[in-house]
């Protein structure tokens, strides 16, 4: 059996489908369907059971889980809203919950592969898995940073595989429920269908209009990285999950316009509330991922965006 927390979410839903494609259907999906639209991400999935997050935690803490049958835990569940400033909620949801799962897996020697985030790096210019590079700009990034720190503190005591994956700007199928937190490609696609134009922020932090750079990574490639670690239970650590090459927001806009073969690009003022809390540049350093032996190839924006828009339709 495999447990996928956040299994009705964006990466979790795609991961569950990928496990199905490998022949796994003894999967327990754990999530919070308060946002009921997420059920759509499970429609194509074959799973053994669905558990609400709170029911799962109750069973876990009462010892009411079939631990001897659990092959691995993929912990994808988290609040990923970077504009959420309720620190108590964020730390309870992203940090305390993760600690409970971590110790459960360690007690029972179960591989634990969890979602970290490139948000831990903040406004830096070097994105390597080192403390000197890590300085989050918001409480979401801090919640991920602090759990990574917790894992590092306990790494010499580990009884089973522990892998943290620092996701960069992931885009692709099954993210519509994320609303404002969905990818740039998703929003630009919808803008074009609705208005005939796509809109990007004007320049900031010394970057020209639309020239801010991010490491945009296709969700299928991120799923492949998760599965690579499932196949290599002897490898532990915290690793970047990005393409290793930054591209501009203009590149994403051009890919959307090229796919639709129509529309225009417009720029809007940079929002005041994001100033000082915005990553204008990200680019994964893949040295540690490659040194671990992970050979997953990552799509460029020009390769991934058309795949995604073809899936979206319209």
Token pair in block for residue 143 = 């919640």
Report CA-CA distances (Å) from 19 to 14, 46, 114, 227, 255: 9, 9, 16, 8, 30
Torsion of CA 43, 47, 53, 58, to 10 degrees: 150
The reply to whether 99 belongs to the active site is: no
Strand 213-214 to 2-5 pairing:
unpaired
How many angstroms separate the CA atoms of 21 and 220, rounded?
13
Q: For residue 115, what are the β-bridge partners? A: 165
Task: Assess contact for 220 and 204: CB atoms under 8 A.
Answer: no
How many angstroms separate the CA atoms of 17 and 25, rounded?
9
> Among 50, 95, 97, 140, which one carries the catalytic annotation?
140
> Among 89, 99, 150, 178, which one carries the catalytic annotation?
178
- Measuring CA to CA, which residue among 164, 169, 284 is closest to residue 217? 169
Within 8 A by CB and 6+ apart from 201, the residues are 209, 210, 212, 249, 267, 268, 269, 270, 271
Q: Is 172 helix (H, G, I), strand (E, B) or coil?
A: coil
- Measuring CA to CA, which residue among 201, 213, 180, 210 is closest to residue 275? 201
The reply to whether 178 belongs to the active site is: yes
Specify the DSSP element, H or E, that contains 267: strand 264-268
Number of C-beta neighbours around residue 196 at 10 A: 11
Token pair in block for residue 130 = 């080192």
Residues with a catalytic annotation lie at 140, 178
């Amino acid at each position: 059996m495999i447990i996928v927390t956040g299994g009705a979410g964006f990466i979790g839903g795609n991961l569950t489908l990928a496990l199905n494609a490998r022949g796994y259907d003894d999967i327990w999906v754990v999530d919070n369907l308060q946002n009921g639209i997420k059920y759509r991400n499970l429609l194509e999935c074959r799973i053994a059971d669905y558990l609400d997050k709170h029911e799962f935690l109750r069973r876990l803490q009462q010892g009411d889980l079939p631990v001897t049958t659990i092959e691995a835990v993929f912990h994808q569940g988290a609040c990923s809203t970077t504009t959420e400033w309720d620190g108590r909620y964020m730390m309870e949801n992203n940090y305390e919950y993760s600690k409970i799962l971590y110790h459960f897996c360690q007690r029972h020697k179960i591989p634990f592969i969890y979602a970290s985030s490139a948000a831990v790096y903040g406004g830096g210019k070097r994105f390597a898995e080192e403390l000197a590079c890590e300085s989050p700009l918001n409480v979401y990034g801090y919640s991920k940073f602090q759990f990574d720190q917790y894992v590092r503190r306990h790494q010499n005591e580990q009884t089973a595989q522990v892998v943290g994956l620092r996701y960069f700007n992931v885009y692709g199928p099954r993210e519509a429920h994320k609303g404002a937190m969905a990818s740039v490609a998703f929003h630009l696609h919808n803008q074009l269908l609705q208005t005939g134009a796509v809109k990007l922020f004007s320049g900031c932090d010394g970057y020209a209009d639309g020239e801010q750079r991010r490491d945009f990574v296709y969700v299928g490639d991120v799923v492949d990285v998760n599965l690579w670690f499932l196949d290599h239970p002897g490898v532990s650590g915290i690793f970047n999950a990005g393409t290793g090459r930054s591209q501009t927001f203009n590149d994403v806009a051009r890919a959307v316009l090229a796919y639709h073969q129509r529309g225009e690009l417009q720029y809007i003022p940079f929002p005041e509330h994001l100033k000082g809390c915005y990553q204008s540049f990200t680019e994964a350093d893949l040295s540690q991922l490659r040194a671990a032996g992970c050979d997953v190839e990552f799509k460029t924006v020009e390769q991934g965006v058309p795949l995604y828009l073809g899936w979206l339709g319209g």
